């Protein structure tokens, strides 16, 4: 196997994993880059402006499935897939919040991409693509900031537009639970 193929194969497998499990899952934290240095293209401060109907909820989201690898000198690079799921009252109803993602961090920090989905008991759902940055502190904790682009909804939310903002913290390495602050506003 050539060196280039060995470098890109994990990223390709991660992308295929996301495509394969996305229909069965609603959301996840996804973090991916093809370079060996963190990208600066990810948004570090979402700039969405919310109106008076916006709601903010806090959701603890443990990792329910993960395939993470450590490579590089002293295991400084972490890459792979991670699925985080939590429950909260979202837009007035009990819901499941899920992040589906793929990571490629250097020393615990870097850009991420993925999908965040909220699903209610009546099977209504809303989905977002997420793009952001995780920054690990010297104590091992991380701050996670992400922009959210609305993909669409089903059931009650089939003909709506929803905007959102997602930030989170993690007290330890990638793969451990995150405390998420999720702000959503139904626009129509």
Least confident among 28-37, 119-128, 138-147, 148-157 = 28-37
Classify residue 143 as exposed, middle or buried by CB count within 10 Å of its CB (0-12, 13-18, 19+): middle
Mean pLDDT of the chain: 80
Determine the pLDDT at residue 30: 34
- In the chain, the percentage of residues whose pLDDT exceeds 70 is 75
Least confident among 17-26, 60-69, 83-92 = 17-26
Determine the pLDDT at residue 47: 65
Q: What is the pLDDT of residues 12-39, one digit of tens each?
A: 444 434 433 333 333 333 333 333 333 3
- In the chain, the percentage of residues whose pLDDT exceeds 90 is 60
Alpha carbon distance 79, 139 (integer Å): 20
Determine the pLDDT at residue 176: 84
List of residues 6+ apart from 58 with CB closer than 8 A: 88, 179, 180, 181, 182
Alpha carbon distance 188, 183 (integer Å): 16
Domain ranges of the chain: 3-186
Fold assignment, 3-186: AOC barrel-like (2.40.350)
| 33 Rama class: left (phi>0) / alpha (psi -120 to 50) / beta | beta
Position 42 confidence tier, pLDDT thresholds 50, 70, 90: very low
Q: What is the pLDDT of residues 93-124, one digit of tens each?
A: 999 999 998 988 999 999 899 999 999 999 99
Furthest CA-CA distance within the chain: 56
Alpha carbon distance 184, 50 (integer Å): 8
Least Cα distance to 168 among 182, 152, 179, 176 occurs for 179
Q: Give the C-alpha distances (Å, rounded to integers) separating 50 from 55, 133, 163.
A: 9, 21, 8
Q: What is the mean pLDDT of residues 40-64?
A: 77
Determine the pLDDT at residue 187: 92
Q: Give the C-alpha distances (Å, rounded to integers) separating 4 from 10, 70, 105, 108.
A: 11, 18, 19, 24
Residue 87 in this model has a pLDDT that exceeds 60? yes
Higher pLDDT, 61 or 48: 61
Contact 154, 125 (CB under 8 A): yes
Least confident among 10-19, 135-144, 163-172 = 10-19
């Amino acid at each position: 196997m050539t060196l280039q193929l060995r470098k890109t194969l994990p990223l390709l497998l991660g992308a295929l994993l996301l495509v394969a499990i996305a229909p069965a899952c609603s959301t996840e934290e996804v973090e991916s880059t093809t370079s060996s240095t963190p990208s600066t293209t990810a948004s570090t401060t979402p700039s969405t402006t919310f109106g008076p109907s916006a709601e903010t909820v806090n959701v603890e989201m443990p990792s329910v499935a993960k395939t993470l690898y450590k490579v590089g000198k002293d295991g400084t690079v972490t890459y792979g897939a991670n699925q985080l799921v939590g429950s909260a009252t979202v837009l007035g109803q009990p819901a499941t919040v899920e992040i589906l993602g793929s990571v490629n961090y250097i020393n615990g920090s870097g850009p991420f991409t993925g999908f965040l989905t909220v699903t209610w008991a009546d099977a209504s759902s809303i989905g977002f693509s997420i793009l952001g940055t995780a920054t690990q502190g010297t104590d091992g904790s991380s701050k996670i900031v992400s922009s959210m682009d609305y993909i669409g909804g089903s059931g009650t939310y089939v003909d709506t537009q929803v905007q959102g903002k997602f930030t989170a913290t993690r007290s330890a390495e990638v793969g451990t639970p995150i405390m998420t602050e999720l702000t959503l506003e139904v626009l129509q």
